[in-house]
Amino acid sequence: MKKISIGLLLVLCFILVLSTFKSPVTYTDLQQPEQSQQPEVIMQATIPSNNTDSEQNNIYPPEQLPNEPLTDGVSYKPGIYKAGTDIPAGLYMAINNGSAVSRVAVINNRENNTTTPKILVTSRYIEENGNFTERDNYTEAVRKGGGTPVLPDDDIEFTAMLRDGAVEYAAVLAHRYDGLLLSGGGDIAAHFFNQEHHPAANQPDETLDTAELALCRAFVKAGKPILGICRGMQIINVAMGGELIQDIPALLDIPMNIHYSQTARHDIIIRSGTWLYSLFGAGMETNSLHHQCIDGTAPGFTVVAYNGPVVEAMERGNLLGVQFHPERMLDEGMIRFFDEFIYRCSYEKISIDYFSSHVIIEIQESQYIEIDGAYLINIEQTVEIINEMFDTQGFYSDGMYLTDLHIPEGRYKLKPGNDSSFSSFLVYDNITHDSLIYSGVISDTGEDIILKKGQFIKLIYASMSPA
């Protein structure tokens, strides 16, 4: 009888264990109807061990932990949450859950600001015939992406800006419309980026330069998305303090037909954990029609894609730039490119982060957060995770850290990853892009920086250790 009782007791214990078992986290489609979700404790509570092997794209599955998470707090699985209702407002760390692409979006309101965003599409005024250059490819791409293109002839102030350089209308237009598409075109006057005119550069249209630079800065100030294509990406870089290579063949010793041809294609390498990677993966073939390119990214921007020494795409929050022409490749799947841009323009004050490892975000009262391919942990509960990562690796790898919480203030040595074309860092006073203190690429010999209490540092394809 005693043996039978013990046996029954063991069976009951086994049933009790089964009843308390939680199923693994699964992907939640972010397009489903909004629903309130209860926080769920997730047993994965370790940041993926990120090295800088570009062939692995810096993606590593999280370590499976025992039955108890490292923290006593609550983790949030992929889904949609409202601050103050489903999740407390505050700072959080979003951690890749082993997905190829992780994404976190913070939005003021789940309802679209507009169902059909109105997008300004720039164009050059031709004085000889009194018309603006046609932009059929761009307008078609905007429409297919779900937006309404606005051309110069559709708005009096827009016409005055591009025809006459009336920069006083820039703020008015940035307030009136939902996004800005800076289209392709000719060379930008060299004095706008503190250089002398190179003999190989074409004569600029300074009225257009002045107007587009003013529009770009106005939309940045208004916090609205901008997409720059070819010359448009160069305008973004110059407007935000960057410079240009005025002629690729002359200054980079690359044959003209590699980047300037109506028919030629070339491959680009795309950084993991970016909006472009989420659409097309680690690489793709693109068209090419330019003889100039950006000379390093402006402060706060990071390289998204490249071909040799030529930057093919860059980003900073909702500022997206590509050197190629996706509007000419709509039948090759490039409509997804415009879907992404128009989506960003559909909401007011939307912030989107794509990442490979982990990123720190802030969600304020009544804002919504969408989590995809990641889980979320309150910032105070991530200290042990970071400490364990540092203790086991001896250095901090790709991701974002808060000084005096995750890492002590002091001097650090930054080193590039294997794919140094992507290696960079950004330091913020807080986690918004407007609070950028400084940023830069990391040379082969490394960089020394000093971090102070309360500063955030973001490492991209790089590592960091105390100096």
Question: For a pLDDT cut of 90, what percent of the chain falls above it?
Answer: 74
Q: What does pTM read for this prediction? A: 0.84
pLDDT of residue 42: 33
pLDDT of residue 433: 67
The residue among 390 and 204 whose pLDDT is bigger is 204
| Position 432 pLDDT exceeds 80 | no
> Range with the lowest mean pLDDT among 107-116, 158-167, 185-194?
107-116
The residue among 69 and 201 whose pLDDT is bigger is 201
Question: For a pLDDT cut of 70, what percent of the chain falls above it?
Answer: 84
Alpha carbons 327 and 186: distance in angstroms, whole number: 17
pLDDT of residue 54: 34
The 10 Å Cβ neighbour count of residue 35 is: 9
Q: Largest Cα–Cα distance of the chain, in whole Å?
A: 106
| Position 51 pLDDT exceeds 70 | no
Q: What is the mean pLDDT of residues 50-57?
A: 34
Per-residue model confidence as pLDDT tens digits over 317-339: 999 999 999 999 999 999 999 99
Candidate ranges 9-23, 257-271, 315-329; pick with highest mean pLDDT: 315-329
The residue among 21 and 236 whose pLDDT is bigger is 236
Alpha carbons 173 and 89: distance in angstroms, whole number: 33
Mean pLDDT of the chain: 85
Residue length of the chain: 467
Structural tokens at position 467: 């100096």
Structural domain boundaries of the chain?
Answer: 26-101+374-466, 118-345
CA distances from 175 to 151, 287, 460 (A): 16, 34, 33
pLDDT of residue 91: 95
pLDDT of residue 109: 86
The dihedrals phi and psi of 237, each to the nearest 5 degrees, come to -65, -45
Three-state secondary structure string covering the chain: CHHHHHHHHHHHHHHHHHHCCCCCCCCCCCCCCCCCCCCCCCCCCCCCCCCCCHHHCCCCCCCCCCCCCCCCCCEECCEEEEECCCECCEEEEEEECCCCCEEEEEECCCCCCCCCCEEEECCCEECCCCEECCCHHHHHHHHHCCCEEECHHHCHHHHHHHHHCCHHHHHHHHHHCCEEEECCCCCCCHHHHCCCCCCCCCCCCHHHHHHHHHHHHHHHHHCCCEEEECHHHHHHHHHCCCCEECCHHHHHCCCHHHHEEEEEEEEEEECCCCHHHHHHCCEEEEEEECCCEECCCCCCCEEEEEECCEEEEEEECCEEEECCCHHHCHHHCCHHHHHHHHHHHCCCCCEEEEECCEEEEEECCCCEEEEECEEEEEHHHHHHHHHHHHHHHCCECCEEEEECCCECCEEEEEEECCCHHHCEEEEECCCCHHHEEEEEECCCCCEEEEECCCCEEEEECEEEEEC
The 10 Å Cβ neighbour count of residue 262 is: 8
pLDDT of residue 286: 96
pLDDT of residue 261: 85
Half-sphere exposure of 462 (CA within 13 A, CB side): 30
The residue among 286 and 349 whose pLDDT is bigger is 286
> Range with the lowest mean pLDDT among 1-5, 88-92, 165-169, 429-433?
1-5
How confident is residue 307, by pLDDT bands cut at 50, 70 and 90? very high
Per-residue model confidence as pLDDT tens digits over 372-409: 999 999 999 999 888 887 877 789 999 999 999 999 99
The residue among 178 and 8 whose pLDDT is bigger is 178
Q: What CATH number labels 118-345?
A: 3.40.50.880
pLDDT of residue 75: 86
Asked whether the beta carbons of 310 and 267 are under 8 A apart, the reply is no
What's CA 306's distance to the chain center, in Å?
Answer: 15
| Position 435 pLDDT exceeds 90 | no
Q: What is the mean pLDDT of residues 435-446?
A: 93
